[in-house]
Chain A
Amino acid sequence: MALLEVNNLKTHFFTRNGVVKSVDGISFSIEKGEILGIVGESGAGKSITGFSMLGLIDSPGKIVEGEILFDGVDLAQKSEEYLQKIRGNEIAMIFQDPQTSLNPVISIGEQLMEAILYHNKKASKKEAYKASVDILKLVGLPAAEKRMSSYPHQLSGGMKQRIVIAMALLNNPKLLIADEPTTALDVTIQAQILYLMKKLSKDFESSLILITHDIAVVSQLCDKIAVMYAGRIVEYGKKEDIIFNPKHPYTKGLIECLPKLDDNKERLYQIPGIMPSLLGLPKGCYFKDRCEYADGECDVYPPEQEIDGRRIFCHKAK
């Protein structure tokens, strides 16, 4: 049985201007120890997918349909109390911007320790302190003991992100969701953090969902890739298949967009146009207006197909 199996998940936001279908019927699964990358542009619904796993969808948003089977239990049906026990304990999350992820007026030590103390009522403060220091050392933070009494403004972005990662690992979660964990960091730090996350998820035997807009990051770390576009998954399969043999025109475009050091093209490739607004989606395939292969067939949303071991939604894919 997969550790996490998401079936036909729909998370919609009921706004004044209409229903925004941020996540609209996506399915994927993760085995124990696997790393899944969710790739897509801003607004494709990647983050909302991550938050849906934890039931952290704020009003006016709501999970309207679908299953989130975690260890066989459907989290979409569970109460807030149940989810609170899962959060930070069995499923932990890492956010995009370390500058805003930590509470500015609470010490690092307290923010770490509370993650233990609220889940393990038997743990003493001393044990929580020791565990927190240990984990800070593990994520490679220098002077861990001293950092316990520091406040976020005294630390650099890279240090803060290490702390956020440490915080997520405190309770040895089965699943880690990292939402653009390196986007806000320097390029030099990015690689360190990514390597650290890969190593730690292996050491802790955690599965990892890596949400990113950067297909290069995904190609380095992941076992599986789901490409999202306008709230839906358009291509989903093994990393090798998708990176080296993309079938969906959008995936092809994303890979084309990557700068390559060895060629001297003046301009980088761009996918023409922008992703449509979720309030004004076109009829049929959402990508057709930006797709060079589109024709009349694409006025109907493409059905799910299996091609070369991946799941794909495209009339033109062969």
Chain B
Amino acid sequence: MTKYILNRLFHSTLVMFTISFIVFFIMFKAGDPVELMLPPDATQQDVVEMRAALGLDKSFIVQYQKFLSNVAEGNLGNSFIYGQPALDIVFERLPATMELAVIAMIVSILLGIPLGIISSIKPNSILSRIIMFFSLAGISVPVFWTGMILVLIFSVILGVLPSSGRGEVYLFTSAFTWDGIKHLIMPVITLSVFQLALILRLTRTGMMEVLMQDYIKLASAKGVPRKVIVYYHALKNTLIPLITVIGIQFGQLVAFTIVTETIFAWPGTGKLIIDSIQNLDRPIVVAYLLVISFIFVAINFIVDVLYTFIDPRVRV
């Protein structure tokens, strides 16, 4: 186990190192932030001074070396725009994004798995057909469309839900205040529609396959009640592939709340990264991507550990 964890840590470090290099290189090539940062009437002298102050006058290799040695000290550099440590800015915005992603994922799992099971037991019933119709819609509709239609209906026409912002925040989250919840509803729906449909369809396919297996029939022949067979014997087998996908999708949710956050002006990392890319604020972009890849790596690790609890054939 210890060896396994060390191995994983080594691999993860390698992954993150590679990511940092790629991002650093792309941002280096993307352009010069100084021109954007200074007022239009700044002199050539100002530009040169600013470049030197930010260390942008050095060659790529030198800049990257400097970055790496700073990273070794836990410093990802200061934002060009805000002047504060980039990591702090990312972490300041992260709770808002995590909140959105976690709640959307919980909603998707809590609705997706039961609906998937229901539609797998009697795949030809009317209820199953209705569920499958909506899940097909959910998987096909683009996120920005869902978001805008929701805003149109609930904010513009009905005027019952706020169209932007995070509302009142209590203990890192807006889920504990009524105002916060009202702000959460539409972004969460927007984010969960696809995930819900995906989890539902995967559950259904998995269950239909498992329910045809001999061991399910033998369990019936033993006199195990149908409910126990479906929700224990079959579901436990279906969960194995499902957990992998949920893990990957959760990483995706955290990384790609960008569209949703932009539509609802949600003050999370998605909006931060869009702004930072436009401003060529390299330290923030690099810090953000490193944090996101760390989250990805961590989720994958958790998924692997979860496996060992569900599938006796896997032992790390």
Contacts and interface: CB of A to CB of B under 8 A. Distances in A.
Contact of B218 (A85, A86, A102): A102
A101 B312 contact: no
Interface of B: 213-226, 228, 233, 236-237, 240, 310-313
Given A56-B217, A151-B312, A153-B312, A104 B237 contact: yes
B240 to A, nearest CB: 7
A95 B216 CA distance: 12
A9 B223 CA distance: 23
A113 to B, nearest CB: 11
A-B residue pairs, 4 tightest by C-beta: A88-B222, A88-B223, A87-B223, A151-B312
Contact of B237 (A85, A105, A151, A167): A105
Nearest to B313: A153
Main secondary structure of the interface of B (DSSP, over half): helix
A114 interface: yes
A87 B225 contact: no
B215 A89 contact: no
A135 interface: no
B224 A95 contact: no
B218 A89 contact: no
A314 interface: no
B220 A56 contact: yes
Contacts of A164: 218
A85 B223 contact: yes
Nearest to B312: A151
Contacts, number: 78
Contact of A56 (B215, B221, B224): B221
Given A95-B214, A115-B222, 18 more contacts: A54-B220, A56-B220, A84-B226, A87-B223, A88-B222, A96-B214, A100-B215, A101-B218, A103-B215, A103-B216, A103-B233, A104-B311, A105-B237, A114-B228, A118-B228, A153-B313, A164-B218, A167-B218
B222 A167 contact: yes
Interface residues of A, number: 31
A45 B38 CA distance: 85
Nearest to B237: A105
Contact of A103 (B219, B223, B310): B219
A238 interface: no
Contact of A105 (B219, B225, B312): B312
Given A87-B222, A114-B224, A115-B222, A106 B214 contact: no
A95 B218 contact: yes
A97 B214 contact: yes
Interface of A: 54, 56, 80, 84-89, 92-93, 95-97, 100-107, 111, 114-115, 118-119, 151, 153, 164, 167
23 contacts: A54-B220, A56-B217, A56-B221, A80-B226, A84-B226, A85-B223, A87-B220, A88-B224, A92-B222, A95-B217, A95-B218, A95-B221, A96-B214, A100-B214, A102-B218, A105-B236, A115-B223, A115-B224, A118-B222, A151-B312, A153-B312, A153-B313, A164-B218
A104 B313 contact: yes
A114 B215 contact: no
A56 to B, nearest CB: 6
A258 B216 CA distance: 35
A105 B309 CA distance: 10
Given A103-B237, A153-B313, A88 B215 contact: no
Given A104-B215, A106-B233, A118 B240 contact: no
Contacts of A80: 226
A118 B224 contact: yes
Contacts of B312: 104-105, 107, 151, 153
A214 to B, nearest CB: 20
Contacts of B215: 100-104
A104 B176 CA distance: 42
A100 B222 CA distance: 15
B225 A84 contact: yes
Contacts of B236: 103, 105-106
Which of B221, B233, B237 gathers most chain A CB within 10 Å? Answer: B221
Contacts of B228: 114, 118
Contacts of A100: 213-215
Contacts of A92: 221-222
Contacts of A153: 312-313
B214 A101 contact: yes
Given A97-B214, A106-B236, A151 B313 contact: yes
A86 B240 contact: no
Contacts of A102: 215, 218
A119 B225 CA distance: 10
Which of A95, A104, A119, A164 gathers most chain B CB within 10 Å? Answer: A104
Nearest to B216: A103
B244 to A, nearest CB: 15
